[in-house]
Amino acid sequence: MSRIKRMLLALSLAVFAAFVVAACGDDEGDSGGDGGSDGGYEIALLTGDNHDPFFITMNAGAQEKAEELGVNVEWQGPAKYEPAEQIKVLNSVMQQDPDFLLTAPTDVNALSQPLKQVSDGDTPIITVDTDVAATEVRLGNITSDNELGGKVAAEYIAEKIGGKGKVLLINQAPGISTLDARQKGFEQELKKHPDIEYLGVEYTQDDPNKTAAAVGAALQKDPDLKGIFAVDTLTAEGVATGIANANKADQIVAVGFD
């Protein structure tokens, strides 16, 4: 990770940690739990899964800031990045009555109602990275400029392939706010390059093995494929494997975002 990226990540984590503590200490509302009596607030961090390197990094930053602020952050996530599995973990987390919930929703629609139930129960919420369609259920969202990220990826690929050739996008699944935005930015930028043939999007459920197989199939169909954009960590891992398996590392420009 570059120095600039580390600084941005640290700044983002500091902002949301400070925001959480301020919200927990708001005298005008009941934040739930009993942490307010001694300031040792209990903060739940619920991510999309419990193993993605991005979420591991997010938790590491949250734990560092929590220690500095004298609060407790408990990190949980499902084994699979699926709305139904995340909702099960959410229900379990809320049985512990945390003072605050930080969460990366796995689907813009499927998590809206479950998070509304949490906020209706007076537990404040901030969404981190991903978001929900019902934005009124949370106090705010902290994320990257994902459309810009997709745009930059398209610009980079276009430059490296000389502005012409076939390009593919690999996504996890529709309905994930950050990934939808990255795809949107990528596709909008490609429209500015009429000599680039966009082959569309392949959804591979964030499975590196499925992604590698999809890349292999794409190369069988279009052996002159020039560029691939992978919208998150595990799809990028699968893209790299697929390219390596096909011995195309010197022929394809691959970009991953997370």
Does 199 or 18 have the greater pLDDT score? 199
Flag whether pLDDT at 35 surpasses 90. no
CA 157/CA 130 separation, integer angstroms: 25
Q: Residue 13 — very low, low, confident or very high, per pLDDT cuts 50/70/90?
A: low
The stretch 215-235 carries a mean pLDDT of 97
CB 127 within 8 A of CB 138: yes
- Please report the pLDDT score of residue 32 as a whole number: 42
- Please report the pLDDT score of residue 3 as a whole number: 43
Q: Which residues pair with 125 in a beta bridge?
A: 101
- Please report the pLDDT score of residue 115 as a whole number: 98
Which amino acid is located at 147 in the chain?
E
Q: Residue 10 — very low, low, confident or very high, per pLDDT cuts 50/70/90?
A: very low
Which residue blocks in 95-194 are alpha helix, DSSP H?
112-120, 146-160, 177-190
- % of the chain beyond a pLDDT of 90: 84
The stretch 38-48 carries a mean pLDDT of 88
The stretch 11-35 carries a mean pLDDT of 48
Flag whether pLDDT at 31 surpasses 80. no
CA 180/CA 132 separation, integer angstroms: 12
CB 115 within 8 A of CB 150: no
Q: Which residues pair with 203 in a beta bridge?
A: 171
Q: Directed axis angle between helix 208-221 and helix 233-245, to 10°?
A: 50
The helix or strand, by DSSP H or E, that contains position 57, with its residue range, turns out to be: helix 53-69
List pLDDT tens digits, range 151-166: 999 999 999 999 999 9
Question: Looking at residue 121, what DSSP letter applies?
Answer: T
Does 17 or 189 have the greater pLDDT score? 189
- Please report the pLDDT score of residue 258 as a whole number: 87
- Please report the pLDDT score of residue 40 as a whole number: 83
Flag whether pLDDT at 39 surpasses 70. no
Which amino acid is located at 72 in the chain?
N
CB 169 within 8 A of CB 202: yes
Q: What is the mean pLDDT of the chain?
A: 89
What is the token pair recorded at 2?
């570059």
Flag whether pLDDT at 34 surpasses 60. no
pTM of the predicted model as reported, rounded to 2 decimal places: 0.83
